[in-house]
C-alpha cells in the first residue's frame, strides 16, 4: 500500500481541527428545552441523535459551561424540537448567549411533564432523562421519549459551514 499525497497535510488533533472538520458536516437543527422552578431554559443543538427505537431513545450534547446546563443537569424531563427552515431566527435566538429565549417573538406553552414546548416546529418530543454521561467539557444526555407531536409542516433547518441553511431542490 502506498501513502496518499493528502496524508502529508494531516494536522495534529486540536479543538480547532475538530470544529473545522464538523463545519463540513451538515446537521439538523434542534432546540432543547427544560424547566426548573418555573424557569424555562433552552439552547440550539446540532448534536441530536436517534439512539434506539425500542425503547425510543435520543441523545444530545451540552457544554457544562452552558447557561442551560444547571437546569438540564437536574431536570427529570426535557423537550426536543426539530426546527424548520422558516425558523432560522429562532435557532439564532436559542444559540445566542444572554438572549431572552422565551420572550417575544418565541411562542411556547407548557407541555407534558411541565416541559416548555415551542410552537410551530416540525416535530417535538418530551423525554424522560435516563442518563447524563461525562464527555470532556460536555455531557451527553440520553432521553427516553414519552410524548410527542409530528404534525408541523415544512422542511428541516440545517447547519453547515457555520451558518443555518435550507435544503435545495
What share of the chain in percent tops pLDDT 90?
78
Residue ranges per structural domain of the chain: 27-160
Of the chain, the end-to-end C-alpha distance in Å amounts to 41
**What is the pLDDT at residue 5?**
53
* Class at the top of the CATH hierarchy for domain 27-160: mainly beta
Alpha-carbon gap, residue 50 to 59, rounded angstroms: 7
Alpha-carbon gap, residue 4 to 19, rounded angstroms: 24
**What is the pLDDT at residue 3?**
53
The residue count for the chain: 169
pLDDT digit string (tens) for the chain, length 169 residues: 555 556 668 889 898 898 888 888 889 999 999 998 888 999 999 999 999 999 999 999 999 999 999 999 999 999 999 999 999 999 999 999 989 999 999 999 999 999 999 999 999 999 999 999 999 999 999 999 999 999 999 999 999 998 999 888 7
**What is the pLDDT at residue 63?**
96
**What is the pLDDT at residue 38?**
83
**What Å distances lie between residue 113 and 51, 57, 65, CA to CA?**
22, 17, 26
Amino acid at each position: 500500500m502506498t501513502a496518499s499525497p493528502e496524508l502529508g497535510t494531516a494536522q495534529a488533533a486540536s479543538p480547532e481541527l475538530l470544529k473545522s472538520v464538523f463545519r463540513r458536516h451538515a446537521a439538523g437543527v434542534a432546540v432543547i428545552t427544560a424547566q426548573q422552578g418555573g424557569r424555562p431554559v433552552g439552547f440550539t443543538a446540532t448534536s441530536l441523535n436517534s439512539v434506539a427505537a425500542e425503547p425510543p431513545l435520543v441523545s444530545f450534547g451540552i457544554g457544562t459551561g452552558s447557561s442551560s446546563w444547571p437546569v438540564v443537569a437536574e431536570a427529570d424531563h426535557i423537550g426536543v424540537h426539530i426546527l424548520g427552515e422558516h425558523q432560522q431566527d429562532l435557532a439564532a435566538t436559542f444559540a445566542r448567549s444572554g438572549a431572552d429565549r422565551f420572550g417575544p417573538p418565541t411562542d411556547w406553552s407548557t407541555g407534558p411533564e411541565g416541559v416548555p414546548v415551542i410552537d410551530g416546529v416540525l416535530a417535538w418530543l418530551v423525554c424522560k432523562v435516563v442518563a447524563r454521561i461525562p464527555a470532556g467539557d460536555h455531557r451527553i444526555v440520553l432521553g427516553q421519549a414519552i410524548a410527542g407531536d409530528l404534525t408541523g409542516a415544512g422542511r428541516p433547518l440545517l447547519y453547515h459551514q457555520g451558518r443555518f441553511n435550507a435544503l435545495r431542490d
